[in-house]
Structure 1
Protein backbone atom coordinates (compact mmCIF):
# COMPACT_ATOMS: atom_id res chain seq x y z
CA UNK A 1 0.00 0.00 0.00
CA UNK A 2 2.84 2.36 0.81
CA UNK A 3 4.39 1.69 -2.62
CA UNK A 4 1.15 2.75 -4.34
CA UNK A 5 1.04 5.96 -2.30
CA UNK A 6 4.66 6.75 -3.24
CA UNK A 7 3.93 6.15 -6.92
CA UNK A 8 0.83 8.36 -6.73
CA UNK A 9 2.93 11.17 -5.26
CA UNK A 10 5.54 10.72 -8.04
CA UNK A 11 2.87 10.97 -10.74
CA UNK A 12 1.44 14.09 -9.09
CA UNK A 13 4.91 15.63 -8.94
CA UNK A 14 5.52 14.83 -12.63
CA UNK A 15 2.27 16.51 -13.61
CA UNK A 16 3.09 19.61 -11.54
CA UNK A 17 6.56 19.80 -13.10
CA UNK A 18 5.11 19.37 -16.60
CA UNK A 19 2.61 22.16 -16.02
CA UNK A 20 5.25 24.58 -14.79
CA UNK A 21 7.61 23.95 -17.67
CA UNK A 22 7.26 26.72 -20.26
CA UNK A 23 5.73 25.89 -23.63
CA UNK A 24 8.74 27.48 -25.33
CA UNK A 25 12.32 27.48 -24.13
CA UNK A 26 13.10 30.95 -25.45
CA UNK A 27 16.85 30.74 -24.86
CA UNK A 28 17.11 27.59 -27.00
CA UNK A 29 14.87 29.04 -29.68
CA UNK A 30 16.77 32.32 -29.96
CA UNK A 31 20.19 30.65 -29.80
CA UNK A 32 19.09 28.55 -32.76
CA UNK A 33 17.75 31.70 -34.43
CA UNK A 34 21.11 33.45 -34.09
CA UNK A 35 22.88 30.38 -35.47
CA UNK A 36 20.41 30.36 -38.36
CA UNK A 37 21.15 34.06 -39.00
CA UNK A 38 24.86 33.31 -39.27
CA UNK A 39 24.18 30.41 -41.64
CA UNK A 40 21.83 32.53 -43.79
CA UNK A 41 24.47 35.26 -44.11
CA UNK A 42 27.09 32.68 -45.07
CA UNK A 43 24.76 31.14 -47.64
CA UNK A 44 24.33 34.60 -49.16
CA UNK A 45 28.11 34.99 -49.37
CA UNK A 46 28.67 31.51 -50.83
CA UNK A 47 25.85 32.04 -53.32
CA UNK A 48 27.42 35.30 -54.40
CA UNK A 49 30.84 33.67 -54.84
CA UNK A 50 29.42 30.74 -56.81
CA UNK A 51 27.49 33.12 -59.03
CA UNK A 52 30.38 35.46 -59.72
CA UNK A 53 33.39 33.11 -59.74
CA UNK A 54 32.09 29.79 -61.07
CA UNK A 55 29.19 30.92 -63.23
CA UNK A 56 30.73 34.27 -64.26
CA UNK A 57 27.40 36.08 -63.82
CA UNK A 58 27.85 39.80 -63.06
CA UNK A 59 25.82 39.67 -59.87
CA UNK A 60 25.82 42.97 -57.85
CA UNK A 61 28.60 44.47 -60.03
CA UNK A 62 30.42 43.91 -63.32
CA UNK A 63 32.82 40.94 -63.28
CA UNK A 64 35.76 43.28 -63.94
CA UNK A 65 35.29 44.91 -60.53
CA UNK A 66 36.77 41.91 -58.70
CA UNK A 67 35.72 38.62 -57.18
CA UNK A 68 33.22 39.99 -54.68
CA UNK A 69 32.04 43.07 -56.55
CA UNK A 70 30.33 45.97 -54.77
CA UNK A 71 31.17 45.33 -51.11
CA UNK A 72 28.31 47.49 -49.80
CA UNK A 73 25.72 45.43 -51.66
CA UNK A 74 27.33 42.16 -50.58
CA UNK A 75 27.26 43.23 -46.93
CA UNK A 76 23.65 44.38 -47.37
CA UNK A 77 22.64 40.98 -48.80
CA UNK A 78 24.31 39.17 -45.88
CA UNK A 79 22.71 41.46 -43.29
CA UNK A 80 19.26 41.16 -44.86
CA UNK A 81 19.62 37.37 -44.88
CA UNK A 82 20.56 37.37 -41.20
CA UNK A 83 17.68 39.71 -40.35
CA UNK A 84 15.26 37.46 -42.25
CA UNK A 85 16.39 34.52 -40.10
CA UNK A 86 15.89 36.52 -36.92
CA UNK A 87 12.47 37.71 -38.11
CA UNK A 88 11.52 34.09 -38.85
CA UNK A 89 12.63 33.13 -35.33
CA UNK A 90 10.45 35.90 -33.90
CA UNK A 91 7.51 34.73 -35.99
CA UNK A 92 8.02 31.14 -34.82
CA UNK A 93 8.14 32.30 -31.20
CA UNK A 94 4.93 34.28 -31.60
CA UNK A 95 3.16 31.40 -33.33
CA UNK A 96 4.31 28.90 -30.70
CA UNK A 97 2.74 31.06 -28.02
CA UNK A 98 -0.45 32.02 -29.84
CA UNK A 99 -1.86 29.56 -32.37
CA UNK A 100 -2.70 25.88 -32.69
CA UNK A 101 -0.38 23.91 -35.02
CA UNK A 102 2.19 26.72 -35.04
CA UNK A 103 4.70 25.05 -37.35
CA UNK A 104 2.07 24.52 -40.05
CA UNK A 105 1.36 28.25 -40.08
CA UNK A 106 5.07 29.01 -39.92
CA UNK A 107 5.78 26.82 -42.92
CA UNK A 108 3.09 28.46 -45.00
CA UNK A 109 4.00 32.04 -44.06
CA UNK A 110 7.75 31.71 -44.53
CA UNK A 111 7.34 29.44 -47.56
CA UNK A 112 5.19 32.02 -49.33
CA UNK A 113 7.58 34.84 -48.39
CA UNK A 114 10.45 32.75 -49.79
CA UNK A 115 8.53 32.23 -53.02
CA UNK A 116 7.98 35.99 -53.32
CA UNK A 117 11.69 36.65 -52.67
CA UNK A 118 12.66 34.09 -55.31
CA UNK A 119 10.31 35.40 -58.01
CA UNK A 120 10.65 39.13 -57.27
CA UNK A 121 13.99 39.62 -59.09
CA UNK A 122 12.57 37.97 -62.20
CA UNK A 123 9.41 40.06 -62.22
CA UNK A 124 10.64 43.49 -61.20
CA UNK A 125 14.34 43.72 -62.00
CA UNK A 126 15.88 45.55 -64.93
CA UNK A 127 18.98 43.33 -64.68
CA UNK A 128 19.69 40.66 -67.32
CA UNK A 129 17.76 37.39 -66.97
CA UNK A 130 20.85 35.48 -65.76
CA UNK A 131 21.28 37.91 -62.86
CA UNK A 132 17.58 37.66 -62.00
CA UNK A 133 17.69 33.87 -62.02
CA UNK A 134 20.87 33.82 -59.91
CA UNK A 135 19.31 36.24 -57.42
CA UNK A 136 16.13 34.19 -57.24
CA UNK A 137 18.04 30.96 -56.64
CA UNK A 138 20.13 32.54 -53.89
CA UNK A 139 16.97 33.87 -52.22
CA UNK A 140 15.31 30.46 -52.55
CA UNK A 141 18.23 28.61 -50.93
CA UNK A 142 18.41 31.15 -48.10
CA UNK A 143 14.66 30.86 -47.50
CA UNK A 144 14.70 27.06 -47.53
CA UNK A 145 17.55 26.98 -45.02
CA UNK A 146 15.72 29.41 -42.75
CA UNK A 147 12.53 27.33 -42.94
CA UNK A 148 14.27 24.06 -42.14
CA UNK A 149 16.57 25.37 -39.40
CA UNK A 150 13.98 27.51 -37.58
CA UNK A 151 11.38 24.73 -37.80
CA UNK A 152 13.84 22.24 -36.32
CA UNK A 153 14.89 24.68 -33.59
CA UNK A 154 11.29 25.60 -32.73
CA UNK A 155 10.26 21.95 -32.58
CA UNK A 156 13.10 21.01 -30.26
CA UNK A 157 12.66 24.04 -28.00
CA UNK A 158 8.91 23.71 -27.56
CA UNK A 159 6.54 21.31 -25.91
CA UNK A 160 3.76 22.41 -28.30
CA UNK A 161 5.25 22.10 -31.76
Structure 2
Protein backbone atom coordinates (compact mmCIF):
# COMPACT_ATOMS: atom_id res chain seq x y z
CA UNK A 1 0.00 0.00 0.00
CA UNK A 2 1.37 3.42 -0.88
CA UNK A 3 1.37 6.50 1.32
CA UNK A 4 -0.76 9.49 0.33
CA UNK A 5 1.06 11.77 -2.11
CA UNK A 6 0.35 15.02 -0.24
CA UNK A 7 -1.43 16.13 2.88
CA UNK A 8 -4.44 18.39 2.76
CA UNK A 9 -3.84 22.11 3.07
CA UNK A 10 -5.30 24.54 5.60
CA UNK A 11 -6.61 28.07 5.80
CA UNK A 12 -4.33 30.72 7.23
CA UNK A 13 -6.61 32.31 9.88
CA UNK A 14 -4.88 35.70 9.80
CA UNK A 15 -5.29 36.04 6.03
CA UNK A 16 -8.84 34.67 6.16
CA UNK A 17 -10.05 37.06 8.85
CA UNK A 18 -8.24 40.12 7.52
CA UNK A 19 -9.89 39.40 4.18
CA UNK A 20 -13.20 38.85 5.99
CA UNK A 21 -12.89 42.25 7.67
CA UNK A 22 -12.16 43.91 4.33
CA UNK A 23 -15.15 42.09 2.85
CA UNK A 24 -17.30 43.46 5.69
CA UNK A 25 -16.24 47.00 4.77
CA UNK A 26 -17.08 46.36 1.11
CA UNK A 27 -20.48 44.91 2.06
CA UNK A 28 -21.31 47.90 4.28
CA UNK A 29 -20.29 50.38 1.59
CA UNK A 30 -22.25 48.42 -1.01
CA UNK A 31 -25.35 48.83 1.16
CA UNK A 32 -24.75 52.57 1.51
CA UNK A 33 -24.13 53.02 -2.22
CA UNK A 34 -27.27 51.02 -3.03
CA UNK A 35 -29.38 53.14 -0.71
CA UNK A 36 -27.89 56.38 -2.05
CA UNK A 37 -28.53 55.25 -5.60
CA UNK A 38 -32.11 54.23 -4.88
CA UNK A 39 -32.96 57.38 -2.93
CA UNK A 40 -30.82 59.96 -4.69
CA UNK A 41 -30.98 58.90 -8.33
CA UNK A 42 -34.23 56.95 -8.61
CA UNK A 43 -36.12 58.75 -5.80
CA UNK A 44 -37.20 55.45 -4.25
CA UNK A 45 -37.69 55.46 -0.47
CA UNK A 46 -35.63 52.56 0.86
CA UNK A 47 -35.64 51.97 4.64
CA UNK A 48 -36.90 55.50 5.37
CA UNK A 49 -39.66 57.86 4.25
CA UNK A 50 -38.91 60.33 1.45
CA UNK A 51 -38.85 63.22 3.96
CA UNK A 52 -35.61 61.86 5.49
CA UNK A 53 -33.56 62.81 2.41
CA UNK A 54 -30.94 60.88 0.46
CA UNK A 55 -29.04 59.67 3.56
CA UNK A 56 -32.21 58.64 5.35
CA UNK A 57 -32.10 57.96 9.07
CA UNK A 58 -30.45 55.50 11.43
CA UNK A 59 -31.84 52.63 9.37
CA UNK A 60 -29.19 53.32 6.73
CA UNK A 61 -26.42 52.74 9.28
CA UNK A 62 -28.17 49.64 10.63
CA UNK A 63 -28.52 48.24 7.09
CA UNK A 64 -24.80 48.80 6.46
CA UNK A 65 -23.88 47.18 9.78
CA UNK A 66 -26.06 44.15 9.04
CA UNK A 67 -24.36 43.80 5.65
CA UNK A 68 -20.95 43.94 7.36
CA UNK A 69 -22.08 41.36 9.91
CA UNK A 70 -23.21 39.13 7.05
CA UNK A 71 -19.69 39.19 5.63
CA UNK A 72 -18.22 38.24 9.00
CA UNK A 73 -20.74 35.40 9.37
CA UNK A 74 -19.75 34.20 5.89
CA UNK A 75 -16.09 34.22 6.95
CA UNK A 76 -16.90 32.16 10.05
CA UNK A 77 -19.00 29.78 7.94
CA UNK A 78 -16.21 29.14 5.45
CA UNK A 79 -13.73 28.53 8.29
CA UNK A 80 -16.04 25.96 9.90
CA UNK A 81 -16.74 24.30 6.55
CA UNK A 82 -13.01 24.15 5.76
CA UNK A 83 -12.39 22.31 9.02
CA UNK A 84 -15.28 19.87 8.72
CA UNK A 85 -16.41 19.41 5.13
CA UNK A 86 -14.89 17.95 1.98
CA UNK A 87 -14.93 20.37 -0.97
CA UNK A 88 -15.87 23.12 1.43
CA UNK A 89 -15.81 25.89 -1.20
CA UNK A 90 -18.56 24.17 -3.17
CA UNK A 91 -20.77 23.93 -0.09
CA UNK A 92 -19.93 27.49 0.94
CA UNK A 93 -20.88 28.84 -2.48
CA UNK A 94 -24.18 26.94 -2.52
CA UNK A 95 -25.09 28.04 1.01
CA UNK A 96 -24.30 31.65 0.13
CA UNK A 97 -26.23 31.50 -3.15
CA UNK A 98 -29.30 30.19 -1.35
CA UNK A 99 -28.97 32.76 1.46
CA UNK A 100 -28.66 35.49 -1.19
CA UNK A 101 -31.79 34.15 -2.89
CA UNK A 102 -33.69 34.35 0.41
CA UNK A 103 -32.44 37.91 1.02
CA UNK A 104 -33.43 38.85 -2.53
CA UNK A 105 -36.92 37.32 -2.41
CA UNK A 106 -37.89 38.33 1.15
CA UNK A 107 -38.39 42.09 0.47
CA UNK A 108 -40.75 41.32 -2.40
CA UNK A 109 -43.41 40.30 0.12
CA UNK A 110 -43.25 43.49 2.20
CA UNK A 111 -46.24 45.80 2.49
CA UNK A 112 -44.51 48.82 0.92
CA UNK A 113 -44.48 50.45 -2.51
CA UNK A 114 -43.38 48.10 -5.32
CA UNK A 115 -40.43 50.36 -6.16
CA UNK A 116 -39.16 50.08 -2.56
CA UNK A 117 -39.52 46.30 -2.65
CA UNK A 118 -37.59 45.98 -5.90
CA UNK A 119 -34.87 48.41 -4.79
CA UNK A 120 -34.35 46.60 -1.47
CA UNK A 121 -34.34 43.27 -3.26
CA UNK A 122 -31.68 44.43 -5.74
CA UNK A 123 -29.51 45.93 -2.99
CA UNK A 124 -29.67 42.64 -1.06
CA UNK A 125 -28.77 40.67 -4.18
CA UNK A 126 -25.72 42.83 -4.94
CA UNK A 127 -24.55 42.62 -1.32
CA UNK A 128 -24.93 38.82 -1.36
CA UNK A 129 -23.04 38.46 -4.64
CA UNK A 130 -20.27 40.74 -3.36
CA UNK A 131 -19.87 38.80 -0.11
CA UNK A 132 -19.91 35.42 -1.86
CA UNK A 133 -17.48 36.30 -4.62
CA UNK A 134 -15.01 38.24 -2.47
CA UNK A 135 -15.00 35.60 0.29
CA UNK A 136 -14.24 32.92 -2.31
CA UNK A 137 -11.27 34.97 -3.53
CA UNK A 138 -10.09 35.50 0.05
CA UNK A 139 -10.30 31.74 0.69
CA UNK A 140 -8.25 31.04 -2.42
CA UNK A 141 -5.61 33.50 -1.15
CA UNK A 142 -5.68 32.19 2.43
CA UNK A 143 -5.46 28.49 1.50
CA UNK A 144 -2.04 27.04 2.20
CA UNK A 145 -0.86 23.76 0.77
CA UNK A 146 1.95 21.91 2.49
CA UNK A 147 5.25 21.74 0.64
CA UNK A 148 5.51 18.71 -1.64
CA UNK A 149 7.21 15.60 -0.32
CA UNK A 150 9.63 14.82 -3.13
CA UNK A 151 10.57 11.50 -1.59
CA UNK A 152 7.06 10.10 -1.34
CA UNK A 153 6.16 7.54 -4.00
CA UNK A 154 3.68 8.54 -6.63
CA UNK A 155 0.33 6.74 -6.49
CA UNK A 156 0.50 3.66 -8.68
CA UNK A 157 4.33 3.45 -8.72
CA UNK A 158 4.84 0.13 -6.98
CA UNK A 159 8.43 -0.42 -8.02
CA UNK A 160 11.28 1.83 -9.04
CA UNK A 161 11.59 0.35 -12.53
CA UNK A 162 7.89 0.17 -13.29
CA UNK A 163 7.69 -3.64 -13.19
CA UNK A 164 5.17 -5.78 -11.36
CA UNK A 165 5.36 -5.67 -7.60
CA UNK A 166 6.27 -9.16 -6.31
Q: Deviations over 1:104-149 (max 9, x none)?
A: 00000011000000000002x1111110000000000000000000
Could you tell me how far apart the structure 1 residues matched to 2:43 and 2:53 are?
Answer: 11
How does 1:29-40 map onto structure 2 within 5 Å?
A: 29-40=16-27
Q: Which runs of 4+ in 1 moved over 6 A?
A: none
Instruction: Name the larger-Rg structure.
Output: 2
2:143 aligned counterpart, secondary structure: coil
Cα RMSD between the aligned structures? 1.7
Higher share of residues assigned helix: 1
Structure 2: segments with no counterpart, 5+ residues: 146-166
- How far residue 79 of structure 1 moved from its aligned partner, in angstroms, is 0.5
Does residue 138 of the first structure (1) align with residue 123 of the second (2)?
A: yes
Q: TM-score, normalised by structure 1?
A: 0.83
Following the alignment from structure 2 to structure 1, what is the Cα–Cα distance between the partners of residues 87 and 141? 15
What is the SS of the residue equivalent to 2:86? coil
State the Cα deviation string for residues 9-66 of structure 1 (Å, max 9, x = none).
xxxxxx9xx86x9611000000000000000000000000000000000112222322
- Tell me the TM-score normalized by structure 2: 0.80
